């Protein structure tokens, strides 16, 4: 089961081929992505046209001007945290919009 996206984040997924799309569909990965709040697009969708000049974190080989490139793990972690975050830090600190974010740990 996938972690839900941070509500401040828009996450678009564009499979790089019809074969990848079919494999993800068969493995129910696409259903899990939709449940997590991801917007799916068909293979071949133009990233630059989709972004309309907005800054973004992109996992493709090239990134439009004003965007950052990242691996899929960093991109997925960042989508959950609503910030560019190292994957190991996602569960070590509460998310900014978490109800727990203002609480301090109890002294041990």
Question: Whole-angstrom Cα distance, residue 71 to residue 13?
Answer: 13
Domain assignments of the chain as residue spans, ordered by start: 12-89
Q: Which CATH class is domain 12-89?
A: alpha beta
Closest CA to 87 of 97, 74, 98: 74
- The 10s digit of each residue's pLDDT in 20-51 is 999 999 999 899 888 888 899 999 898 888 88
Q: Residue 103's pLDDT is what?
A: 44
What would the pLDDT profile of 48-95 be if each residue is shown by its tens digit? 888 888 888 888 888 888 888 888 888 888 877 777 877 777 665 544
**Which residue's structure tokens are 């992505």?**
33
């Amino acid at each position: 089961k996938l972690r839900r996206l941070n509500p401040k984040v828009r996450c678009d997924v564009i499979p790089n081929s019809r074969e990848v799309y079919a494999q993800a569909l068969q493995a129910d990965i696409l259903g899990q992505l939709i449940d997590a709040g991801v917007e799916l697009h068909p293979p071949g969708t133009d990233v630059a046209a989709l972004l309309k000049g907005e800054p973004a974190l992109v996992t493709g080989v090239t990134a439009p001007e004003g965007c950052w490139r990242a691996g899929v793990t960093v991109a997925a972690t960042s989508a959950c945290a609503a910030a560019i975050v190292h994957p190991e830090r996602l569960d070590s600190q509460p998310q900014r919009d978490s109800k727990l974010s203002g609480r301090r740990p109890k002294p041990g």
